[in-house]
C-alpha cells in the first residue's frame, strides 16, 4: 500500500487496527488482547484530536492578546496531549499486542506468512518448498 493510498483511506489508527483484527482469526482467549489493541489505537487517535484542539485554542489566545499565564498553561496542556507523546508511549505497546496476535509484519514473518497471500507464504516460500 502506497503512502498516498494510506492517506486517501481512513487513516486513523482505530480504523487500521480494526481492519487488521478483522483479518485475523482470533480465538476467544485472544479477544481481550484485541480489545486492548483497539483501546490503544483509539487513545492515539484521541491524542491527535486533542492536540489539534489545543492548537486551535493557542491560536485564538494569540489572536485575542491573552493573559500570558493562560497561554503558558494551555501550551503545557498541549504538550501533555501531544500525539507524539502518545505515540511514543502507546505505539510500542500497540505493536507488542499486534505482534502477540500475529497481526504485524514481524509476527507474520515469524509464522512464515506474508500479507495478502492468505498465509501460504510468498514467492520465496514457494522457492524454498520446491527446493526441499
Whole-number Å distance between alpha carbons of 123 and 126: 5
**Tens digit of pLDDT for each residue in 72-91?**
887 787 777 788 889 999 99
The grid cell for 80 is 501533555
**Tens digit of pLDDT for each residue in 22-71?**
999 899 999 999 999 999 999 999 998 888 888 888 787 766 666 778 77
For residue 105, pLDDT over 80 is answered with yes
The answer for 65, left when phi > 0, alpha when psi is -120 to 50, beta otherwise, is left
Contact assessment for residue 44 and residue 83, using Cβ atoms and an 8 Å cutoff: yes
Amino acid at each position: 500500500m502506497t503512502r498516498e493510498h494510506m492517506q486517501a483511506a481512513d487513516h486513523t489508527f482505530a480504523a487500521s487496527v480494526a481492519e487488521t483484527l478483522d483479518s485475523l482469526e482470533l480465538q476467544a482467549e485472544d479477544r481481550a488482547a484485541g480489545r486492548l489493541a483497539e483501546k490503544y489505537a483509539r487513545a492515539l487517535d484521541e491524542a491527535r484530536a486533542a492536540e489539534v484542539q489545543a492548537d486551535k485554542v493557542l491560536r485564538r489566545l494569540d489572536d485575542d492578546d491573552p493573559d500570558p499565564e493562560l497561554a503558558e498553561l494551555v501550551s503545557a496542556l498541549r504538550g501533555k496531549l501531544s500525539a507524539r507523546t502518545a505515540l511514543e508511549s502507546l505505539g510500542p505497546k500497540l505493536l507488542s499486542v499486534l505482534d502477540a496476535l500475529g497481526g504485524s509484519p514481524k509476527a507474520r514473518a515469524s509464522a512464515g506468512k506474508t500479507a495478502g497471500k492468505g498465509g501460504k507464504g510468498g514467492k520465496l516460500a514457494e522457492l524454498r518448498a520446491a527446493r526441499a
